[in-house]
Amino acid sequence: MAFRIGTASADITPSLSTNPYMAGYGSTDGGREATSSSPFEPLYARAILIWEDAHPHIIISLDVLALPRSMHQRIRDRIIDLADWTSSDILIQATHTHNGPALIDTLHPFMAYGLSDLGLVRSYSADLEDTIVNLAQEALDADETAVTFDYKVSTQNFSANRVGLPYTETAVPILVARRGNGTPAAVIFSYGCHPISAGLRTLFDGDFAAGACNYIENRNPNCFAMFVQGPAGDQDPGGVRSWELRDQHGDALGATVHSNMQSAGRALSGPMVTRYQEVQLPLDITPTAGNLAAVRAAYVARLANPNGQPQWYQRHAQVMIGRIDSNSYDTAVPSPFQVWKFNGSPQLKIAMIGGELVSGYAAYFRNRNGGTNGIIVGGYANESCCYIPSNEFFPPFMPLGSYEGGWEPDFPGIAGGSMTVYGHLAHFKGGTNGVETTLINAMNSLLA
């Protein structure tokens, strides 16, 4: 199997006139707005098209917080029509920068940010859909470079488990596409850490992930760099948030990748195998009239904000009452699961899950698939529905509530924490046959 690549990129930074609203932190004041059309660093959509003989596969990375389901589904359908490929050959991922633009649906603009006039958010989101589809076409049409692929894993240590669990992301997977003379034509690299080193700002920016891409490209002429977010749901960067810390972490990650790119890792070969499946992750909802009446009463109580929660809890409660009254709630959350394999010997597996995947899952799948040398695990893939917690984020492991688990101890039977900004009626079901079991069984099947 012979490999070739084509690349393309597009600046997706909004101006103040096209969409000043920023995503990534809940708001009590009608939304956070950028203060300048000049970003700290431009936001990009990046695409790498991998041709295996005559068959294309594409990875698209976006400097946005999260790609909503509605946008992802439309984009995927349009990209499928561009070439002779299947849905599983198309992988789209958000870097999860918290200083990117607000988009429709995720985070829910009204619940998370208090935005009621969504005209600019909608028009920018529609333009972004077109940009991504056009980017895929540009990658398909791009000049092709014959390459070989090699892989190695290095480390970084600025990420820490923010809830005290014994999983800390250190792995930096590095996948390099090399020309015949050995020089890098492209590199795909990953790290599991929330890109919030800069902190809450009023300039658009891709945080350390964008800084690392720039570091690599500035030191490797004619090399295209792409960051793919790892299992960052419970991983935060250490240090005091600042632009300086953002640059420090970007340079540190970029330097690690750059140094390791200078010599080849283990060679990868085809055939490439791709799989894609939507998995329904169960919410803890008992859809009986009596239970729903109790849930509605809990949300009515939350409207009065007896516990001094941020204002988005009240906006969430308002919307949830409407969903109960109109019988328009969901009992499960769909999450796209995707696997790519370089199926030579030894294999390299790439396992991607939609949503904010917590790091314990990465530890589990690495343990079953040859460690970091055998598998790359990431979240935020294709669409970001919410946090994807494991059982460790529910009682009895965390009896006092969990932001990542999406629940609060005052009203444990309804959504809390992260589920209030992602806009779901309930938290996930824990325990046997809950979110953890469902996820593990589905991904193990795809990886087999």
Tens digits of residue pLDDT in 375-406: 999 999 999 999 999 999 999 999 999 999 99
Judge whether 393 lies within some domain: yes
Whether residue 207 lies inside any domain: the answer is: no
Whole-angstrom Cα distance, residue 79 to residue 137? 8
Ordered mean pLDDT values, 10 residues apiece, the chain (448 residues): 95 98 87 96 98 98 98 98 98 98 94 94 98 98 98 98 97 98 98 98 98 98 97 98 98 98 98 98 97 97 92 96 97 98 96 98 98 98 96 96 96 96 97 97 98
Question: What are the residues facing 352 on neighbouring strands?
Answer: 338, 378
Nearest to 359 by CA among 164, 100, 154: 164
Q: How many degrees, rounded to 5, is the angle at CA 107 between CA 386 and CA 401? A: 50
Longest dimension (CA), the chain: 70
Contact (Cβ atoms closer than 8 angstroms) between residue 197 and residue 249: yes
Residue 442 lies in a domain: yes
Q: How far apart are CA 255 and CA 246, in angstroms?
A: 14
Task: Identify the pLDDT of residue 345.
Answer: 93
Please give the pLDDT value at position 19: 98
**Quick one: which H or E segment has residue 362?**
helix 359-368
What is residue 102's predicted lDDT score, i.e. its pLDDT? 97
Residue ranges making up the domain that contains 367: 272-279+330-447
Number of domains within the chain: 1
In a domain, 366, yes or no: yes
Beta strand 348-353 pairing with 375-378 = parallel
Q: Which pLDDT belongs to residue 29?
A: 76
User: Phi and psi at residue 166, in whole multiples of 5°?
Assistant: -85, 35
Q: Looking at residue 27, what is its pLDDT?
A: 81
The pLDDT score that the predictor gives to residue 315 is 95
- The confidence score (pLDDT) of residue 401 equals 96
d(CA 141, CA 64): 25
Euclidean distance between CA atoms 295 and 316, whole angstroms: 13
- Are the C-beta atoms of residues 135 and 117 closer than 8 Å to each other? no
Query: Does residue 404 belong to any structural domain of this protein?
Result: yes
pLDDT of residue 383: 96
Asked if residue 422 lies in contact with residue 107, where contact means CB atoms within 8 angstroms, the answer is yes
d(CA 257, CA 153): 9
Give the SS3 label for residue 315. helix
Q: Evaluate whether residue 367 is within a structural domain.
A: yes
> Is the preceding omega at residue 446 within 30 degrees of 0, hence cis?
no
Q: How far is CA 58 from CA 139, 143, 176, 419, 443, in A?
A: 8, 15, 15, 31, 21
Using the structure block, give the residue that is written with the tokens 């030579």.
344
Q: Is residue 409 part of a domain?
A: yes
Are the C-beta atoms of residues 102 and 123 closer than 8 Å to each other? no
Q: Judge whether 60 lies within some domain.
A: no
